[in-house]
């Protein structure tokens, strides 16, 4: 199973990975991300492995970056991990 924000990019991964299912979701929407994890558990069962590789890179100088840029960066890189870590731990025990 694969989770990604952009469905078209996700489909490329799924096409390359045998027995893979696409779950498009935006991890910055924490309620939606939680629902997607629940859907995966219901449809696929608990995963044996989970690779968390969500990231959002922001490029610019201190003069050009806005506080909202940092907030988007944080929301993409941090809360998703805090949501998925306890779920994975629960699934693996």
Q: Which domains does the chain have, with CATH numbers?
A: 2-92 (3.40.50.720)
Per residue in 49-89, pLDDT (tens digit) is 777 877 778 888 989 999 998 888 888 888 888 888 888 78
Nearest-5° Cα angle at 44, 1 to 39? 85
The pLDDT assigned to 45 comes to 87
pTM equals: 0.75
Strand boundaries in the chain, DSSP class E: 2-4, 22-24
Instruction: Give the residue among 78, 58, 77 at the shortest CA–CA distance from 66.
Output: 58
pLDDT mean over 37-57: 84
């Amino acid at each position: 199973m694969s989770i990604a924000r952009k469905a078209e990019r996700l489909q490329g991964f799924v096409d390359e990975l045998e027995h893979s299912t696409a779950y498009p979701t935006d991890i910055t929407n924490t309620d939606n991300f939680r629902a997607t994890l629940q859907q995966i558990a219901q449809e696929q069962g608990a995963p044996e492995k989970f690779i968390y590789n969500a990231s959002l890179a922001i490029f610019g100088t201190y003069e050009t970056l806005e506080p909202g840029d940092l907030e988007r960066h944080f929301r993409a890189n941090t809360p998703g991990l805090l949501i998925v870590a306890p779920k994975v731990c629960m699934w693996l025990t």
